Amino acid sequence: MKVVFNRNIYKFTHDYPAFAAFMTETELRQKYYFTYPTKNFYISSYVCPICGNQLFKTVFHNDFEIETEDGKILIPRIFTCGKCQAFFAPKPGYRLSSNNGYYLILPEKNYIEYLLTMDKVGSKIGRRNTLYNEPF
């Protein structure tokens, strides 16, 4: 599947570091519209710039290559909104909140296919060798 990420045009102004600790992962996923069969995506501290829903993320221990308006880039992590079926990738070396990255919105079938492709090589364990080792 050939997809191209657009340059980010959104402002990431929300940052919610705290969650209801009593919620199970299943409950979190239902609450935040992320009921896809992934193993390596987990809830992040960012919300979707389109709809305000909490974003899920995965970390790539080997950089993942995406095609963007600016050409191919290698990313250490990606965020996604299950409600908008959108992906958000900060430029390497930037946080998502820097509003200096890329986004991609796909129809549901393609979204799930690409999500599961990323899930296969993603991880819930943070990386130490990138500029930001965000815990969420």
Minimum distance between the CB of residue 33 and Zn ion, rounded to whole angstroms? 8
Q: Does 16 bind Zn ion (CB under 5 A)?
A: no
Q: What tokens does 41 get?
A: 């995506």
Binding part of the chain for Zn ion, among 59-67, 75-83, 88-96, 115-123 by CB under 5 A, reads: 75-83
CB distance 37 to 65 below 8 Å: no
Nearer residue to Zn ion within complex by CB, 14 or 61: 14
Three-state DSSP state, 116: helix
Q: Does 53 bind Zn ion (CB under 5 A)?
A: yes
Nearer residue to Zn ion within complex by CB, 78 or 84: 84
Q: Report the alpha-carbon distance of residue 1 to residue 106 in Å, rounded.
A: 11
Q: Report the alpha-carbon distance of residue 11 to residue 117 in Å, rounded.
A: 27
Q: Report the alpha-carbon distance of residue 63 to residue 41 in Å, rounded.
A: 16
Q: Report the alpha-carbon distance of residue 113 to residue 133 in Å, rounded.
A: 27
Nearer residue to Zn ion within complex by CB, 46 or 60: 46
Residues 23-52 touching Zn ion, rule: CB under 5 A, are 48, 50-51
Instruction: Tell me the per-residue interface mask from 78 to 97 with Zn ion, x by CB under 5 A, - otherwise.
Output: ---x-xx-------------
- Contact footprint for Zn ion (CB under 5 A): 48, 50-51, 53, 81, 83-84
